[in-house]
Amino acid sequence: MVSKETEKQIDHDLIRKVQNGDMVAFNELATRYKDRLMNVITRMINSQQEAEDIVQETFMRVYQHRDSFDFQHCFSTWIYTIALNLARNELRKRKRFKFFDIFDLQGKESEIAVEMKLPSNLGKAIENAMATLPEKYRTAFVLRDIQELPYEEIAKIMNIPLGTVKSRVNRARAMLRERLKPRMEEYNALSKGTLLPVSLL
Amino acid sequence: MRCRRVRSYLSAYCRGELAGWRHQAVREHIAACPECRREEAVFWEINKSIGNLPERKVSADFNSKLLDRIAKERFRETRTKAYLPRRAPIFGRGKLIPAFASACLVLAFVMFGGVDFVHSPDRSDMYVNRPADVELDSSYMHVLPQEDRQDVIVEHQRNAWAFKQKLAKANRMRNLMNRLAGQNSFGSGYSHSPDNQLIPASQSFITYRPVGSTQTQLTSGN
């Protein structure tokens, strides 16, 4: 596992080479960050294709403004900030986002039961529940619990105090828990070995 | 610690983000409270599912598409107005005035007969490169009073060469002024020929004849 300082140094070396016109270094930077950004942006805007467009646009912005990068900051902070700003602009442009309301499943117990038997479907339920979170809580939650970035870096990316970051993350977890509560109760009941009617299989 | 407060710490507790006395207090409460223990299990399950979420990745040709777009961007950068070098003017503002002044001088030189003056047979080498013992043309004597002629001859004999140069120069200037004015200069513009005939000054000038030549000759100015 590469330490944070080493990662920072590698990024700075690469961006310095990019400033000198080295496209191999730029390709290396893209390889290092493309999947991380894709993971975050997809959770933010809930669309694979648009997320890829945003990630590509992020790297274009990095290239166009490569000379303005301040070496006193982390490159990861910079690129995440650009990506999240673009995602935010996309959400504002949409003015709405699609989400799958888990409460629509109420009354469809058979389907719930089948889903709950497969752990991966709980993951799908979590993704859908995440999409219902307000933007500022969702951003903090994705950066912390999915990307596992440190609180200090999240504070710099979102440009908010450290205490606010912790508060938002905590609040997002609580909201997620509330949205998943009915499903979790079903899941717990199934995990205790309760037999299902044949018609539900 | 009460259940409500403990549940507010549960998510951080399950993530290992609680430390110190809070961590201890929550652990003790959970051990004693079945409701809070069930909540803790839910949070553990959610965290486990989040950890198992599939990582979203870009398409396989993402890098090639990105580099292609970068190449187009670089090409566009080279075509911007700021990048293209300014065409060097043939005559810049700093060179225009001297060029104009030079053109005016050349034009004046040509208009006022400078070319003819330069190439005039009047300005021949014989005025400059003559040996020191060349005598004056006696036609010059007709313009001087009688009593001064001998003095002039003596002076000429003494400083023959320097005076000859001065005379040559004077002759050249007179011809130039004749051409500028379009008429004869030096007063009336007329002078006397050796036989005391009044002739236009432009038609008479002093020439030098080789030593030994006795014949007085009036040479035309043209």
Residues of A in contact with B53 (CB under 8 A): 123, 126-127, 146
- B47 vs A145: CB contact, 8 Å cut-off? yes
Q: Is B83 helix (H, G, I), strand (E, B) or coil?
A: coil
Q: Mutating which of A19, A24, A34 best tests the B interface, going by the most B Cβ atoms within 10 A? A: A34
- Residue B215 sits at φ, ψ, to 5 deg, of -80, 130
Tens of pLDDT, residues B57-66: 999 999 999 9
- Where does the pLDDT of residue B132 fall: very low under 50, low under 70, confident under 90, or very high at 90 and above? low
Tens of pLDDT, residues A44-90: 998 899 999 999 999 999 999 999 999 999 999 999 999 999 999 99
| CA distance to A32, B8, B15, B67, per residue, from B61 (Å) | 15, 45, 36, 10
| DSSP bridge pairs for B198 | B192
| DSSP bridge pairs for A51 | none
- B41 vs A188: CB contact, 8 Å cut-off? yes
> Which position has the higher pLDDT, A15 or B209?
A15
Which chain B residue has the Cα nearest residue A151?
A: B17
**Total Cβ atoms within 10 A of residue B182:** 7
- For residues B63 and A30, is the Cβ–Cβ distance under 8 A? yes
- Rounded distance, CA A82 to CA B216, Å? 106
Chains A, B: CB contacts within 8 A come to 87
- Rounded distance, CA B21 to CA A104, Å? 42
- The arithmetic mean of pLDDT across residues B39-46, rounded, is 89
What pTM was estimated for this model as a whole? Answer: 0.59
Query: Quick check: A178 contacting B, CB < 8 Å?
Result: no
Highest mean pLDDT among A178-192, B9-23, B198-212: B9-23
- Rounded distance, CA A95 to CA A148, Å? 28
* Res B78: pLDDT: 76
Greatest distance between any 2 Cα atoms in chain B? 155
Range in A53-57, A153-157, B34-38, B122-126 the model is least confident about? B122-126
- Where does the pLDDT of residue A10 fall: very low under 50, low under 70, confident under 90, or very high at 90 and above? very high
